Amino acid sequence: MNKKILKLSIISVLLISTYFPISAYAQNSNIKTTNEDWPRLQIESVIQKAKKYVQSQNINLENYYIVTITYNPDKKEWSIFFQGNYLVQGKMCRVKINDRTEEIKLDTLG
Distances (CA, A) of 46 to 43, 87, 106: 5, 25, 14
Q: Where are the domains of the chain?
A: 2-109
Confidence band of 109 (pLDDT split at 50, 70, 90): confident
55: pLDDT strictly greater than 80: yes
What's the mean pLDDT in 11-31?
49
**Measured between alpha carbons, how far is 44 from 60 in angstroms, rounded to an integer?**
20
Torsion of CA 58, 46, 105, 102, to 10 degrees: 130
